[in-house]
Amino acid sequence: MLAVRHRGTVVLGADGQVTYGNTIMKSDTRKLRRLLNNTVLVGFAGSTADAFALMERFETRLKDFPGNIARAATELARDWRTDRALRKLEAMMVVADAEITLLLTGQGDVVQPTDGVVGIGSGGAYATSAAKALVKHSDLAAEDIVRESLAVAAEVDIYTNDNIILEQLPSTA
């Protein structure tokens, strides 16, 4: 899963592969969601059921703090880290709206990437590296950077496939 904020657009992209051990269980999973009247994008990596549970909780927090994804993310991260049941969930999330992109982890991390590029999951580091290079050294739009970067990850990471889905929002940052 990869997020790129570039030239007035924020784009999240993800492959569709779900694995269990070394077995591909599904190749067309949708790892991206739109929340809060299509104003917030969420992507996940890790355990699918855990990620869906976290997305539901994040959506509840968004409703508690409309228009403030940083506060909603901080509240979710606090709950995730301190709640006995939530602590066992194994997933990571990237959330974005028109102004901010954040990485959330079960260790209580809420991180805003300095350059607007962040990837998670087994192919996340490959996709992030490719995206950083393309942002600096190409004239591609954010959508094309995400697509090309995820394609690179699919070529080198056995747990990433090339069934890529993208979602985008206009960005103010």
Average pLDDT value for the chain: 91
Q: Report, as an integer, the average pLDDT of 50-78.
A: 89
| The two three-digit tokens of residue 31, written as one number | 């790892």
pLDDT at 158: 93
Per-residue pLDDT tens digits for 115-130: 999 999 999 999 999 9
Cβ–Cβ < 8 Å for 16, 27: yes
pLDDT at residue 43 tops 90: yes
| 44: phi then psi, degrees, rounded to nearest 5 | -135, 160
Say if pTM beats, i.e. exceeds, 0.85: yes
Distances (CA, A) of 93 to 6, 39, 156: 20, 16, 22
Distances (CA, A) of 91 to 5, 31, 48, 100, 168: 22, 11, 8, 21, 22
Cβ–Cβ < 8 Å for 171, 41: no
Q: Report, as an integer, the average pLDDT of 54-68.
A: 90
pLDDT at residue 8 tops 80: yes
More confident: 148 or 79: 148
Distances (CA, A) of 7 to 112, 133, 141: 18, 15, 7
pLDDT band for 32, please (50, 70, 90 cuts): very high
Per-residue pLDDT tens digits for 83-116: 666 666 677 899 999 999 999 987 778 999 999 9
> For the purposes of burial, counting CB atoms within 10 Å of the CB of 78, is it exposed (0-12), middle (13-18) or buried (19 or more)?
middle
The position carrying tokens 């889905």 is 165
Name the DSSP letter for residue 75: H
Sorted by where each begins, the domain ranges of the chain are: 2-170
Distance between CA 45 and CA 123 in Å, rounded?
10
Name the architecture of domain 2-170: 4-Layer Sandwich (3.60)
